[in-house]
Amino acid sequence: MIDRESATTQLAALLEQHIDEVADAWAQMTYQNASFRPSDSWIDMLRTSAKQGLQAIIETLKTGSYISLKVYLSRLNIVSLKSGFKSSEVTESLLLCKDAIMEVISSGPIESSFVWAMIYELDACLRWIVGHFNTIAAAELNRCLRQQHENIIAMLNISEQATDSIDINVVLEHVAEGIMAAAHVEHCDFYIVDEDRNRLIPTVGTSHSPRPEKLIQAFLNYYPSPTSDPFYQLILEHKQPLVCENAQTDPRVNQAITSQMGTKSILSVPLVANHKVFAIVTTGTFSEYRTFTDEQLELTWDIARAAALVVENAGLHQQNRYMAALEERERLAREIHDNLAQALSILKLQASNIAELIRRGHFDQAQIFAADMVRTASEAHTDAREAITSLRTSVSTVSELMPTIEAYLDKFRQTYSMDVHLAVQDDCPLVLPPTSVVQLTRVIQEALANVRKHAKAHAVSINLQHDTQHLYVTIEDDGQGFEFSKIVQQENGGVGLQIMRERAESLGGHLKIDARPGKGTRIIAQIPL
């Protein structure tokens, strides 16, 4: 019976003697079996790889150490991913090694007992090779998936921000990093769709290795037209990723720019938002031809979908902001009309009283009414000015809320010489829809207008606090206060309070008013989170 050591020693010697012959046969089998053949010269690369693999196998057979095989398989995994081959295709190629070796074993003058012993050792070695390669490939796929997950989460975090002014460059940077990781490429650029001029605008993206300035300039100087560039026209029409394995011969690709840049293979992925392509991600190779696996295409498509969510979210927010602004302008128009009508009624009454007093010769009393009339007109003018300021104040995002309120309070202090204090709970969750932001701002402005007109206060405080379900906005002054029941009984009484109540209720909240004569006034607006 032949021992294992003798079988492995003879197998190693046989492979060393016929290494070029076996490497050539293995490379030819792999080439013929491949679904994608980048070029005729690719066979030379396969021979080199096959010979390196055989040298690693020989080293393992001689020493019993698998270090050389581990290094070879790690490199093979990287090369196969960059070439666009599936792990199953590489596994098939590794198994073809046995067929190539068997041709040498079966053709030589070797005793049958040695033949079976060598086949047994060869099978054991190949089982380890295939198992280890699949382990490496699975680990690399998991790494890609984790990185893909991180890129998608990063973009979704951008999407969750309530803003219509997203930085598209930040989004594209995440897209580039995600697609480069998924497709195992070194660079990623963009074409931005210019619908007005019916063209694509080149935009340099990200690269993990330096690129010649000449290549970058060639890319930036080419503006594809969707009507004259079939490759990009297909992407815009079908809104799906598109692969060109050989850009040098593909009739869909502009051969002039391909030749100028030396492009070998291309992968382009559309970024689609609201059923329109707003940009095209483009990457590829310059030194070798390659394809892209279904898994790689799906991963790149996931990144593109995540980017679309970010852009669509910004678009929806912009639409909500417009609707909130439109509703607010209608509300302010009604308020201006009501306040102006009230002021005109008072002025009309005062003018009638003055005329009657003058007719009777009561000039001193007429002067008193005239002074009141001037004050009424002045207050009406102030109200109108503040209403116009409110119309010009464009605030509907959380990021604009606090700066807008603080700016308004600064102006209020300077204009009316009143001590105004703003306090915000440290962890106050300012996550509100546009309508709530607008109404919250207006409630504070209206409350301060009431303080100015009626309270005779020296100081006013504004506090923002919350619990798990509600945001509480408290406006409190140290003025003269009032008796609420008497105010509402007066003609046109409590207009400002009613306006604030309507604003709070429009958000599903309510307004609480706590006022007593000589004790100041506290108004609490409760708004659901």
- Model confidence over 472-519: pLDDT tens digits? 999 999 998 888 777 655 655 566 788 788 888 888 888 998 888 888
pLDDT, tens digit, 9 for 90 and up, residues 200-211 = 988 888 888 888
Q: Which fold has domain 162-315?
A: Beta-Lactamase (3.30.450)
- pLDDT at residue 213 greater than cutoff 90: no
Q: What are the residue boundaries of the structural domains of the chain, listed by start?
A: 4-151, 162-315, 398-529
pLDDT, tens digit, 9 for 90 and up, residues 90-141 = 888 888 898 898 888 887 677 777 778 888 888 888 889 888 888 888 787 7
- pLDDT at residue 426 greater than cutoff 90: no
Stretch (H or E) spanning 285: strand 276-285
Stretch (H or E) spanning 95: helix 87-107
pLDDT, residue 325, reads 54
3-state helix, strand, coil in the chain (%, to 5): 65, 15, 25
How many CB atoms neighbour CB 528 within 10 A? 12
Residue 419, classed as helix, strand or coil, is strand
| Least confident window among 84-88, 122-126, 129-133, 456-460 | 84-88
Residue 352 — pLDDT band, cuts 50, 70, 90? confident
The dihedral built from the CA positions of residue 287, 290, 293 and 297, taken in this order, carries a sign that is: positive
- Check: CB of residue 494 under 8 Å from CB of residue 488: yes
Residue indicated by tokens 């295709």: 89
- pLDDT at residue 471 greater than cutoff 50: yes
Tokens of residue 204, six digits: 């340099």
pLDDT, residue 164, reads 47
Tokens of residue 150, six digits: 């991180």
Residue indicated by tokens 């607008």: 438
pLDDT, tens digit, 9 for 90 and up, residues 289-333 = 888 888 788 888 888 887 777 776 665 455 445 445 545 555 555
Which has the closest alpha carbon to 70: 13, 21, 139? 139
Residue indicated by tokens 């026209």: 233
Residue 242 phi, psi dihedral angles, 5° rounding? -140, 135
Higher pLDDT, 430 or 349: 349
Using a cut of 0.75, tell me whether the model's pTM lies above it.
no
- pLDDT at residue 17 greater than cutoff 50: yes
Q: CA–CA distance from 132 to each of 23, 67, 129, 186, 447 (Å)?
A: 21, 12, 5, 27, 72
pLDDT, residue 327, reads 55
Q: Which fold has domain 398-529?
A: Heat Shock Protein 90 (3.30.565)
Question: In terms of CATH, what superfamily is 4-151?
Answer: Globins (1.10.490.10)
